[in-house]
A and B are shown apart, each in its own frame.
Chain A
Amino acid sequence: VRLCRCRCRTLLFRPAGRLRARRDLAAGPEMHFGFQTVTEEERREKIYQVFETVAKKYDVMNDSMTLGIHRVWKDILMHKMNPSPGTLLLDVAGGTGDIAFRFLNYVRSVRERQLQRKLKHHQNLSWQEIFESYQKDKFNSLGDSQVVICDINREMLKVGKQKAQHLGYSEGLSWVLGNAEELPFDNDKFDIYTIAFGIRNVTRIDLALQEAYRVLKPGGRFLCLEFSHVSNPLLSRLYDLYSFQVIPVLGEVIAGDWKSYQYLVESIRRFPPQEELKAMIEDAGFFKVDYENLNFGIVAIHSGFKL
C-alpha cells in the first residue's frame, strides 16, 4: 500500500525548494529531512542536491569534522570484513571511493603475502619454474578481487573517479550509477555488500536492506558503517554540542555551505539507533545480525549474513 502512495506522490511532484510543513496541505507520506518535514520525493531531491553541492569538498570536510578519525573507522570496517582475494564487493553509496580503495589495498596485501608464502614453498624448483610462476601471478596482484562502487549521485562518482585516477587505482574497480533502493544488479551476485555513511541518506531503508539481501550470494555478508546513538549522557551532551555548534560552522568556513552540514547533524539524530537498525536488518532476512559500537556509539558497524 505504501508503495502505491509513493507512486501517486511522484505524479503530483512539486518543484524542489518549497517545503511543505503544514500537515493539512502535505498530501504524501511525510518524511524527515534532518529536522524538517517533507514528502518522500522532496527528500530524495534535497539529499541529491546536498551531495551534489558538497561532493568536491566531501573528503576535506570529513577530515576536518572528525579530525581524521573517519579513516580509522573505515580501516576497522575493512579489518572486520577481512576480505580474501577473489572476493566480489559491492560498495553502495560508495561515492568518493574510500571503502573501495581500502578494499583493493587490503586484498593486494593479502595476495602479496599469499604469493610470498607460495614462493617460499617452491625452494626446490628450478629458476625457470619459479620465474614462470611469478609471471603468472604478477598479473594477478588482486587475485581476481573486484569492487563495484554504486552511488546515486553523479557528482560523487565523478569525484571518486578522479580520486582513483589520481591515486593510481586502475584495475579491479567499476563505477555504477544506481539507487540503493533499486539496485541495477542481478540476484545472488556479490560476496560482500557494504554501505558506509550512506544508509542514513536512503529514503526507504527497508527497501535498501531488501535489495542488499537480494544481490548477495548465499553466504554473503552485509556490512553497514553508520553514525549511531551515544547512550552515555555526558558524552551525548558533548557530542551534541560539538555537532550542532561546530560542524555547521566548519561547513560554512571550509565548504561555504552551512545548510548541508546542518542537514548532516540533524540526519544523524534522526537515524534509528543500534537495536532498531538491527531489527530492520533481521526483517530483511539476514541472520546472525550483530553490531559493534565504535567510540561509544558515535559510529556503529552492523553485520548480517544471508544464509
Chain B
Amino acid sequence: WRVWASPSPGPVPHPLLPAGRARPSHSEPRGRDGRGGEEENEEEKEEGWHQLYPGHIPTSPLQKALLAAGSAVMALYDPYRHDMVAVLGETTGCLALPNLRDKMKNHPEGYHILQERPRIRLSTLDMARLQGLPDGSLGREYVRFLEDNKVSPDTRMPPKFVDDEELAYVIQRYREVHDLMHTLLGMPTNMLGEVVVKWFEAVQTGLPMCVLGAAFGPVRLSTRKLQVLATELVPWAIQSGLNASCVLNVYYEQRWEQPVESLREELGIFPPP
C-alpha cells in the first residue's frame, strides 16, 4: 500500500500534458514526509509548479476544456463573475492570441509595445496630468469615462491559464486597452455598451470569448434595446472593426494628447451613431 516508496528518477511526462511546456507538479508526488528533496527535482519544486510568469497556473488540455465549458456556463449564469469571462478568454484564445501577437510584431508600433510591455494601471498613469489635458483629447476623455462609469483600470484580472509568457502579455494588454475601446467607441459600461464593444473586439481580435460574448450578451437585453442594437449599433461596430487597423497596435500611453476624433480617423473607426 506504499504508493510512493521511492522517488521517481526524473520528471515523468504526464500523459495528458503537452510535452515541452509547463507542467504542474502533480505529475510526481513527493515522499510522504516532505523531507529529502531530491536534487534533480529541486528546480521543479521551486514554486510548486512551472510558472512562466507570476500568477501562471499550468493546465492540461483536459483542464482547459473543462475550464472553458465551466467558465462559459458560470459567466452566463452570473454575469457579475468577470473572472469567468477572463478565464474563458484565456482558455479559448489559443488560436487568436498568436494571431494577435503576430499582427503586433509586424507593425512598428505594435512591436514597440511588445518590447516595452507598458501596463495601464493607476500607479502608472498620471491622473492629474490627464485630467489637465484639453477636452476631446484621448487622456481627458479616458479619465472622464473612468469617472462617469466609476471604473478603474486596476480591476483587470491578470492572466492565469495562458501557457506562453508573451501571449499572456498580449491578453493582459487587450484587457487593459478595453476601457480605451469604450472611450474610442463612445460606449458606456452598461450591458448595451459592453455588447457593442464586444462586437467590435470580436471582429478586431477574433477571440472566441468576444464572439461568444457578442452573441450571448444580447440575451439579457430588452427588445427595444435589441432593436437599436441590431439596426444601428452592431452594423456600425462591425464595419468599424473591419475597417480599422489593429487597435492593439496603438501605443496609447504616448498619445494622451491626441484628440479622440483624430485617433478615430487614424485607426479607421467610423463616428459613433
Contact = CB atoms under 8 A, between A and B. Distances in A.
A65 to B, nearest CB: 13
Among A37, A253, A275, the one with the most B-chain Cβ atoms within 10 Å of its Cβ is A253
Contacts, number: 86
Given A21-B47, A35-B30, A249 B70 contact: yes
Question: Main SS of the interface on chain B?
Answer: loop
Contact of B60 (A229, A245, A252): A245
B63 A248 contact: yes
A31 B45 CA distance: 13
A253 B67 contact: yes
Question: Main SS of the interface on chain A?
Answer: helix
B1 A34 contact: no
B35 A30 contact: yes
A19 interface: yes
A32 B34 contact: yes
B47 A249 contact: no
Contacts of B32: 32, 270, 272
A21 B37 contact: yes
B1 A273 contact: yes
Given A21-B42, A35-B26, A259-B57, A229 B3 contact: yes
A253 B26 contact: no
Contacts of A258: 57, 160
A22 B44 CA distance: 11
Contact of B45 (A36, A244, A256, A262): A36
B215 interface: no
Interface string A74-97: 000000000000000000000000
B71 interface: yes
Contact of A245 (B2, B37, B42, B62): B62
A130 interface: no
Interface stretch (B80-88, B117-125, B232-240): B80-88
A177 interface: no
Contact of B26 (A254, A266, A273): A266
A265 B46 CA distance: 19
Nearest to B84: A253
B89 to A, nearest CB: 14
22 contacts: A21-B37, A21-B42, A22-B42, A31-B34, A32-B30, A35-B25, A231-B1, A236-B3, A245-B66, A249-B70, A253-B71, A253-B84, A254-B74, A256-B81, A256-B83, A258-B160, A259-B57, A262-B57, A272-B32, A273-B2, A273-B3, A275-B1
Interface of B: 1-3, 16, 24-26, 29-30, 32-35, 37, 42, 45-48, 57, 60, 62-63, 66-67, 70-71, 73-74, 81, 83-84, 87, 160
Chain A to chain B: the 7 pairs with minimum beta-carbon distance, closest first: A32-B34, A253-B70, A36-B48, A249-B66, A35-B25, A244-B26, A21-B45
